[in-house]
């Protein structure tokens, strides 16, 4: 039996459904299956570099792992044969998430949410492994795995970030560049973001940056970078906001300043993540989005935020699956005071285009404080 021990540094709060319980920290039940898939997929890609289907790559990796006797049982569940235990040492913080916390949706409106933040002082990860070769692979890959993943809820927005405590900024950035299609970096103006003291500031910054890219900032009269980009396509597209505003204006009897550059309306914001609803809190109106295809319920954002020490990173996944949502039909409905408003149901399509995420980000972040690595 071989043992590996890693000490982790936590960079951002982890949203935990049992945050108030003793020993609540990064969960082995979340880490192990994801680490297993990461290692098995890498095996498949190394052996079959010309493959592009991620599921097929994983399948090939499972066969290789099985041939090396790395899998539990007959290998039918794709689980690697080792034990993982994660413990918290030192002091930690267990915090309720205050109402309106930036980039967290669980406590909006009248929703009851018992999740909370866990911020660990020192987190120890122990592996017990029977196979020496598997032990060497885990030893080599675990730091990379942590660097490119977040954990818990709201992972794409930067929550639940960890690294090996000895990780350097240059190594962290190398892992990001090797693993992702595009990496942008933003240094904080005050040079230091203390996790324990400044995490609300940190996530407000992430929220502001993401909002400007996707939805714009009407308060400061800054256009959505996404809207500007699709307005310049050939043929030009227009986003869904004018359509929604028109409906909401009729429902609420409130006049709105509705603006569009063309009438080729599509549900454009889905390209950066499909939400199931959003709220106009002051008007007590909720807009609901439901894909017509029942097999397609949710598409997470292809943009991912990572935090390392005093730096913020924006990355895009190579396997972002944007093509799977091309042209999808989205049913739109409205509720006022929690009751469905009749006669306003409509549909909009996600644009049936080959959306170039890299080119979009290059345009969106031009002349900003973001630096492309």
Give the pLDDT of residue 22: 61
Reported as a pLDDT band with limits 50, 70 and 90, residue 192 is low
φ, ψ (nearest 5 deg) of residue 359: -65, -40
* Distance, CA of 161 to CA of 153 (rounded, Å): 11
pLDDT over 90 at 226, yes or no? yes
pLDDT above 90 for 298: no
Q: Give the model's confidence band at 4: pLDDT under 50 very low, under 70 low, under 90 confident, else very high.
A: very high
The residue among 51 and 373 whose pLDDT is bigger is: 373
Please check the confidence at residue 2 and state whether its pLDDT lies above 70: yes
Which of 30, 36, 245 minimizes the C-alpha distance to 159?
30
Residues 273-299: what's their mean pLDDT? 82
pLDDT tens digits for 142-165? 999 999 999 998 888 999 999 999
Query: Which band of pLDDT confidence, cut at 50, 70 and 90, is reported for residue 127?
Result: very high
**DSSP of 165-223, one letter per residue?**
TT--HHHHHHHHHHHSSEEEEEE-TTS---HHHHHHHHHHHHHHHHHHHHT-BTTTTB-
Fold category of 2-167 in CATH = Alpha-Beta Plaits (3.30.70)
What is the reported pLDDT for 144?
A: 96
| Average pLDDT for 221-244 | 94
**Is residue 139's pLDDT more than 90?**
yes
Is the pLDDT confidence value at 181 over 60?
A: yes
pLDDT tens track for 52-73: 888 899 999 999 999 999 999 7
pLDDT score of 228 more than 80? yes
- Cβ proximity of 364 and 225 under 8 Å: yes
Residue 248 contacts residue 283 (beta carbons within 8 Å): yes
**Could you tell me which residue, 294 or 189, shows the higher pLDDT?**
294
Q: Which of 194-208, 231-245, 325-339 has the lowest mean pLDDT?
A: 194-208
- Residue 290 is given by DSSP the state E
What mean pLDDT do residues 115-129 have?
A: 89
Percent of the chain with pLDDT over 70: 90
pTM for this model (two decimals): 0.89
Identify the band that residue 202 occupies on the pLDDT scale cut at 50, 70 and 90: confident
In this prediction, residue 189 has a pLDDT band, given cuts at 50, 70 and 90, of low
Domain ranges of the chain: 2-167, 206-372
> Which of 351, 30, 50 shows the shortest CA–CA distance to 162?
30
139/141 Cα distance (integer angstroms): 6
Residue 318: predicted pLDDT: 67
């Amino acid at each position: 039996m071989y043992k590996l021990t890693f000490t982790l540094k936590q960079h951002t709060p982890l949203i935990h459904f049992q945050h108030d319980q003793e020993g609540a920290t990064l969960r082995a039940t979340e880490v192990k299956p994801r680490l297993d898939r990461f290692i098995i997929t890498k095996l498949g890609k190394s052996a079959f570099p010309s493959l592009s289907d991620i599921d097929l790559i994983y399948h090939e990796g499972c066969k290789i792992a099985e041939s090396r006797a790395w899998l539990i049982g007959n290998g039918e569940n794709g689980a690697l044969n080792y034990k993982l235990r994660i413990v918290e040492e030192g002091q930690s913080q267990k915090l309720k998430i205050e109402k309106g916390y930036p980039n967290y949706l669980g406590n909006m409106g009248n929703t009851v949410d018992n999740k909370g933040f866990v911020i660990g002082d020192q987190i120890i990860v122990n592996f017990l492994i029977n196979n020496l070769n598997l032990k060497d692979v885990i030893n080599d890959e675990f730091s990379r795995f942590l660097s490119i993943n977040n954990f818990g809820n709201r992972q794409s927005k930067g929550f639940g970030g960890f690294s090996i405590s000895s990780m350097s900024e240059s190594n962290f950035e190398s892992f990001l560049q090797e693993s992702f299609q595009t990496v942008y970096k933003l240094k904080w103006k005050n040079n230091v973001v203390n996790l324990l003291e400044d995490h609300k500031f940190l996530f407000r910054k992430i929220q502001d940056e993401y909002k400007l890219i996707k939805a714009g900032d009407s308060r400061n009269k800054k256009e959505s970078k996404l809207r500007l980009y699709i307005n310049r396509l050939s043929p030009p597209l227009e986003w869904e906001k004018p359509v929604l505003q028109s409906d909401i204006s009729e429902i609420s009897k409130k006049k709105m300043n509705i603006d569009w550059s063309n009438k080729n309306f599509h549900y454009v914001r889905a390209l950066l993540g499909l939400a199931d609803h959003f709220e106009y809190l002051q008007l007590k109106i909720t807009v609901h989005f439901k894909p017509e295809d029942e097999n397609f319920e949710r598409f997470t954002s292809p943009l991912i935020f990572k935090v390392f020490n005093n730096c913020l990173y924006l990355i895009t996944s190579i396997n972002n699956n944007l093509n799977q949502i091309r042209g999808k039909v989205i049913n739109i409905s409205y509720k006022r005071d929690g009751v469905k408003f009749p006669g306003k149901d409509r549909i909009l399509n996600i644009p049936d285009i080959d959306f170039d995420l890299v080119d979009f980000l290059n345009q969106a972040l031009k002349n900003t404080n973001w630096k492309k690595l």
